[in-house]
Structure 1
Amino acid sequence: MSGKLRIPALAMVLALLLLPLAGSADAADRPSVKLSTSQAGTGGSITVTGGGWRERALLMILICGQAVPSRGVVGGTNSCANADGRAVTTDGKGRFSRKLPVAEPPVPCPCVVHVATVTGAQAQADAIFQVAGHAVEPLPTEPAGGRLSVLTDTRLDGSSGLLTWFGAPPSRTLDLTVGNVGTSAVKDPVFQVGTAHGVFAPQWEEQQWRGTLQPGGKARIKLPVELGAGAHGDYTVSLKYGGKVLAEQHWDVGRPWGVTLFWILVCLVVPAALFRAGMAVVDRVRPRRAGGIRHRGLRLPELPLRLPGSKTSGASGPKARGVFGPKARGASGPKAPERPPPSASALPWFTPDAGPGTAGRLSAPHDDSPTSPTTPTTKGPT
């Protein structure tokens, strides 16, 4: 019996010993911010360090007024010295260190050094800081009555279509569940939906939700979100109610590659069309050549048809036979009557000298033929 009691007692002691270690581990995983000094005047600078952030995360460091770590920044980034903020990227272990110039925020203190992620999952942390010489006023009291709070994770529903690929405005639906943690009902609440590109401040747009939330009740809210035409890159969608940011969601918008493809085709087609039009104009205005080959409507010169053995003018006449003609041998006699060359349209084998009754005669007998009756006999000296 005593042995059975010792086992639960030992387990309880181990649990009590491990509980502080687990709490310290959870605290180490949470984002934290530390300052080199808690007070400084305008024109000076402080060193801001932190740990427990995501690896290689881009952070924005700002000095904000009307804020305490328990309530956050009441007016959002509008209560911060945005012009004097600094950006920093965490290392592989989620730590960072950055110098920050001291500047007066646009609203009175109490002030904090506000550190928040720019892209990706939202995370933030604050450290109390006092700007020397800056006015200090109490925080505005929270209005009595209904107060909304986000109960579930925020998500963006929807997808991009073919028109978005060609530059149409991307659109999504902001889906979340809110609850009324106040003491009175909230009827037809008006939310502010903001979209911010990169590190720029969000642009807010009011949207009203129709319905009533009783104290302790909850409701699922869907609000449309739309960007401008051709928008692409990293965007952050924020939801604000009653001057307080309730939720933020990251949105990675793809590049409209259809627009890029369109301009590439324009750069290829337009020069080709201009080249074709220029060539057509050149072909119209340049002078025509007489005969020969033309650019349009190929026209070949007319060539007479000649066959071997047919009597034609030119190289086959008596003048082309050189020393073998009768003039070369000194003979004299009447010349054979010259016949006109056959026309180009008549076939050469149907000439008047080559009829059906004179088969085998393709041409008239030559003057130098030995059997020709008109050829005179040349006698030598006796």
Structure 2
Amino acid sequence: MRSLVPAFAALLLLVPPPAAVAADGPDVKLSTSQAGTGGSVTVTGGGWRKRTLLMILICGQSVPSRGVIGGTNSCANADGRSVTTDTEGRFRKELPVAEPPVPCPCVVHVATVTGPEAQADAILQVAGHTVEPLPAEPEGGRLSVLDDTRLDGSSGLLTWFGAPPARTLVLTVGNVGTSAVTDPVFQVGTSHGVFAPAWEERQWRGTIAPGRKAQIRLPAELAAGAHGDYTVSLKYGGKVLAEQPWAVGRPWGVTLFWVLVCLVVPAAVFRAGMAVVDRVRPRRPGGVRHRRLSMRLPYASARRRPQPSSNSTLPWFTPDADPGTAGRLSARHDDSPPSRTTPLRKGPT
């Protein structure tokens, strides 16, 4: 038995050591921990999902332990960069240094744009930027999002004609504090593009005990005629808990309505104008009825006019007249009347 112990120990020495286990979740690293405005810093990361689009921002009033307190409103959004991870979930990107709209402490915030939510922060000191202490963390009950958020509901026929789109924001939160949270007041914000969210207070009725969770359903509504890509955000205690994209279709019914207006209104105005002109313009003497009679007169007179017969005899010609006189009469023009100086000889009675 003792002879087997050295052999087993030698066998363990031949087995290669196990590979180092990667840290749980994604991570972010910076090429330098301090940089000034106008410079740049190289951001690298690993442990992300493969082929995932990421957004990289410099945010103020933030620390890795508490995240971005004010949400994207605390970040230099105009100078952010996007990057896609490779097949191993790693990335590398050059980020220009810009001052965030709120004081430091500052971080480089990396978050997923599509798919399941994931984020990571790395501390960055922006040289020359104001530094102020973080707001005090609320005592007692604290809420944290446990599941992915979603938007329930669909657009109806009225929304197709420009009615305000409405959805219900659904998420599950848990109380990670030491005391119960009763009737919490949330802030639901909607933003379009790069604009800041417009926040509205929404109160949820109920009590969440420490270590318990509850499903929260809050209404979210946009302005009438809104269309495009929107983002619905949820904030509680000054911290953004969740963000959900919302693609709103264009209200084509409004476009169809204006097209019909542009076609129908001019046609109606034209018809009304022609009716007014027909009433105002002076009529011809005799009116419409007399004009119709005058058009029929030529045809009626033509039918009543006697047609000359081919066998009719001239009034000054008689068959028993002298042949010499008949010859002289035939030499004259048919339309010329006989001369009074030439007496016509009558035949025997």
**Mapped pair 1:185 → 2:172:** no
The correspondence of residues 242-261 of structure 1 with structure 2, limited to 5 A, is: 242-261=237-256
Distance 1:119 1:204, change over 3 A: farther
**In the alignment, which of 187, 194, 206 is matched to residue 189 of structure 2?**
194
Q: Secondary structure at the match of 1:302?
A: helix
Distance 1:56 1:270, change over 3 A: farther
- CA separation in 1, counterparts of 2:26 and 2:321? 135
**Mapped pair 1:268 → 2:259:** no
Q: Deviations over 1:245-303 (max 9, x none)?
A: 222212111111110110111111112122222333343344544679x6x99946224
- CA separation in 2, counterparts of 1:274 and 1:194? 46
- CA separation in 2, counterparts of 1:297 and 1:174? 79
Q: 1:68 corresponds to which residue? A: 63
**Mapped pair 1:326 → 2:321:** no
After TM superposition, give the deviation of residue 238 of structure 1 in Å: 1.2
After TM superposition, give the deviation of residue 156 of structure 1 in Å: 1.3
Q: Is the 8 A contact 2:83 2:93 kept in 1?
A: no
- CA separation in 1, counterparts of 2:286 and 2:17? 107
Q: 1:369 corresponds to which residue? A: none
Q: 1:222 corresponds to which residue? A: 217
- For 1:380, the aligned partner's letter is P
Q: Is the 8 A contact 2:138 2:237 kept in 1?
A: no
- For 1:379, the aligned partner's letter is D
**Mapped pair 1:107 → 2:50:** no
Q: Deviations over 1:99-140 (max 9, x none)?
A: 42332552232x111234567754433222111234545544
Q: Secondary structure at the match of 1:128?
A: strand
The correspondence of residues 113-262 of structure 1 with structure 2, limited to 5 A, is: 113-117=108-112, 122-136=117-131, 139-262=134-257
- CA separation in 2, counterparts of 1:133 and 1:85? 18
- CA separation in 2, counterparts of 1:200 and 1:69? 25
Q: Is the 8 A contact 1:119 1:198 kept in 2?
A: no
After TM superposition, give the deviation of residue 146 of structure 1 in Å: 0.8
Distance 1:303 1:124, change over 3 A: farther
The correspondence of residues 272-311 of structure 1 with structure 2, limited to 5 A, is: 272-289=267-284, 299=292, 301-303=295-297
Q: Is the 8 A contact 1:121 1:250 kept in 2?
A: no
- For 2:259, the aligned partner's letter is I
Q: 2:80 corresponds to which residue? A: 86
Q: Is the 8 A contact 2:230 2:246 kept in 1?
A: yes
- CA separation in 2, counterparts of 1:276 and 1:135? 71
> What root-mean-square deviation, in Å, do the aligned CA atoms of Structure 1 and Structure 2 show?
3.9
**Mapped pair 1:379 → 2:337:** no
Q: Which runs of 5+ in 1 are unaligned?
A: 1-12, 334-374
After TM superposition, give the deviation of residue 209 of structure 1 in Å: 1.2
After TM superposition, give the deviation of residue 90 of structure 1 in Å: 3.9
Q: Secondary structure at the match of 2:93?
A: strand
- CA separation in 2, counterparts of 1:96 and 1:264? 51
Q: Which runs of 5+ in 2 are unaligned?
A: 1-11, 326-349
- CA separation in 2, counterparts of 1:66 and 1:297? 95
After TM superposition, give the deviation of residue 203 of structure 1 in Å: 1.3
Q: Is the 8 A contact 2:60 2:75 kept in 1?
A: yes
- CA separation in 2, counterparts of 1:91 and 1:284? 78
**Normalized against structure 2, the TM-score is what?**
0.73
Q: Is the 8 A contact 2:41 2:96 kept in 1?
A: yes
Q: 1:371 corresponds to which residue? A: none
Q: 1:312 corresponds to which residue? A: 305
Distance 1:17 1:306, change over 3 A: farther
Count of aligned pairs: 308
After TM superposition, give the deviation of residue 72 of structure 1 in Å: 0.9
**Normalized against structure 1, the TM-score is what?**
0.67
After TM superposition, give the deviation of residue 167 of structure 1 in Å: 0.6
